[in-house]
Chains A and B, each alone.
Chain A
């Protein structure tokens, strides 16, 4: 099956670091961009950034630049989203998603199941 499988829910304290993952399978992981999308509880969807696992070319939404870091390990078909110092405002559901066309910034036809990150003292 073509799928993106994300790591499990996390509960962290402010100031802690965190790295969540998104593993692709069933397709050529290095051919498609992978995006990260944030959804604060009860709110809408926000695109954070995107990475091309083939060469690790990474682009960020200016609104999220510097807030988190996107990376990928193509050898294990996995993309990552990490924080060095979490804030309470990072509490959200985070989705990874894949555009529907190879190498193109298209609509997202494949989504991970989401990773809930809760930051609370």
Chain B
């Protein structure tokens, strides 16, 4: 099974910063990769699907990229609402299997 590893586990940043979170797969995979934001005490929220497609209603400061074994989520101009935990998720549109990364907490510096 493909394992997903996020880095860093915790990231300290300030409002206005540009931050990048990396998700690495244990072997090369397709572009079926999503990113979620989870604020404290809330359900996860889909930000990005299929590596780089922005979910409807999500601010354009969120972007995703990558291929093969390395994928990234970038947040430009970090806003107060963005301090949360972010998860990557591998999925296979043709087979029931979803695998999450362990999460990256973005905290205030």
Contacts and interface: CB of A to CB of B under 8 A. Distances in A.
Interface residues of A, number: 23
Given A45-B44, A45-B87, A107-B34, A50 B96 contact: yes
Interface string A99-112: 01100111111011
Interface string A22-47: 00000000000101000000001111
Chain B interface main SS type? strand
Interface in B76-109: 87, 89, 91-103
Interface size class of B (residues with CB under 8 A): 20 to 34
Given A106-B91, A111-B44, A44 B103 contact: yes
B43 A111 contact: yes
B106 to A, nearest CB: 15
Interface of B: 32, 34, 36, 38, 43-46, 49-50, 55, 87, 89, 91-103
